[in-house]
């Protein structure tokens, strides 16, 4: 179906104004949404022991988009004075002036409020947990100035949707959910270390800290170890819940992808590390597929 020409003309007319905000929220680069969404869906499927309630599913899908977008906005605000010195980030809207600091903060508040409105349609436990998620998302961008472990804070923030999903779907926090939490935290630190390897040389020059800098020559070993921890925790989850062969086939596929990515970053080339980061979300997909088939 073709849109009326008047609609397309209006869109073309306003697109130059909208585009910087679109880019600031990274909606043109949805990998971050996928990396946050798949583990959230893991938790929802496990909490529901199958297909989750549609309303809860919709709330969390929209919440993932809003909060990931909010995270990107506050990250760029925090990095606005250093992004211009990094090749990969030198054209971001806050660096070029396409979006002002005030506009960025207004957008951040709007996205966070939208997410909180969604949470209000759940229950008291989920609402209480959402405060912790917001705190983690807000402090993460500033951690790279104070610690070499900002990727751990990101992992904690990205994983906070897991207990929230259990709270919203099942109104309880069973102990085994923390296996999913630790698995996702470890996986997040692994792929975000690959991401940090892209900017490592620039970050050292400007004084920004990361696990890629902290690990140094042991970066590939640490990524492999983190991947192993993630798979081990997911294996324990399957044992705890007595999941069937489909789940373990998903874990085997996830392990295979991790091994492939490890070889991809073997020479630590910038482009290869960036591609490995982008392809990491396939790990989340195959684990989710295994869960879905297992519960069927």
* Confidence tier at 145 by pLDDT (50, 70, 90): confident
Per-residue model confidence as pLDDT tens digits over 229-270: 999 999 999 999 999 999 999 999 999 999 999 999 999 999
- The reported pTM is 0.92
Q: Where are the alpha helices (DSSP H) in 171-218?
A: 177-198, 200-206, 211-215
- The pLDDT value given to residue 275: 96
Average pLDDT over residues 151-178: 96
Per-residue model confidence as pLDDT tens digits over 76-129: 998 888 888 777 888 889 998 999 999 999 999 999 999 999 999 999 999 999
Burial state string for 29-53 with b = 16 or more CB within 10 A and e = fewer than 16: eebbbbbbbbbbbbbbbbbbeeebe
Contacts of residue 174, defined as CB under 8 A and 6 or more positions apart, other chains included, come to 166
Nearest to 165 by CA among 186, 180, 146: 180
DSSP 92: -
Q: Where are the alpha helices (DSSP H) in the chain?
A: 5-24, 31-48, 54-78, 93-96, 101-119, 124-143, 150-159, 161-170, 177-198, 200-206, 211-215, 219-241, 245-264, 270-279, 281-295
**pLDDT over 70 percentage in the chain:** 96
**pLDDT over 90 percentage in the chain:** 77
Residue 204 has pLDDT above 80, yes or no: yes
Residue 103 burial (10 A CB sphere; 0-12, 13-18, 19+): middle
């Amino acid at each position: 179906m073709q849109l009326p020409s008047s609609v397309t003309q209006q869109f073309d007319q306003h697109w130059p104004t909208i585009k910087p905000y679109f880019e600031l929220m990274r909606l043109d680069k949805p990998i971050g949404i996928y990396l946050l969404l798949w583990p959230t869906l893991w938790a929802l499927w496990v909490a529901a022991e199958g297909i989750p309630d549609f309303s809860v599913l919709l709330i969390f899908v929209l919440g993932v988009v809003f909060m990931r977008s909010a995270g990107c906005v506050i990250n760029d605000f925090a990095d606005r004075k250093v992004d211009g010195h990094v090749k990969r980030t030198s054209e971001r809207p806050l660096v070029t002036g396409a979006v002002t600091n005030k506009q960025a903060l207004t957008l951040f508040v709007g996205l966070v409020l939208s997410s909180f409105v969604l949470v209000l349609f759940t229950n008291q436990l989920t609402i209480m947990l959402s405060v912790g998620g917001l705190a983690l998302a807000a402090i993460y961008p500033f951690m790279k100035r104070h610690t070499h472990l900002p990727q751990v804070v990101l992992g904690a923030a990205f994983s906070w949707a897991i207990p929230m999903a259990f709270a919203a779907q099942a109104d309880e926090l069973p102990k085994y959910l923390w296996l999913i939490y630790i698995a996702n935290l470890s996986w997040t630190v692994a792929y975000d270390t690959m991401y940090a390897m892209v900017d490592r040389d620039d970050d050292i020059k400007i004084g920004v800290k990361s696990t890629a800098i902290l690990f140094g020559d042991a970066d590939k070993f640490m990524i492999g170890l983190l991947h192993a921890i993630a798979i081990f925790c997911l294996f324990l989850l399957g044992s705890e819940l007595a999941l069937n062969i489909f789940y373990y086939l998903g874990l085997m596929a996830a392990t295979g992808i991790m091994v492939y990515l490890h070889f991809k970053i073997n020479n630590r080339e910038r482009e290869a590390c960036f591609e490995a980061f982008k392809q990491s979300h396939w790990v989340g997909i195959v684990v989710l597929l295994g869960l879905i088939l297992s519960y069927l």
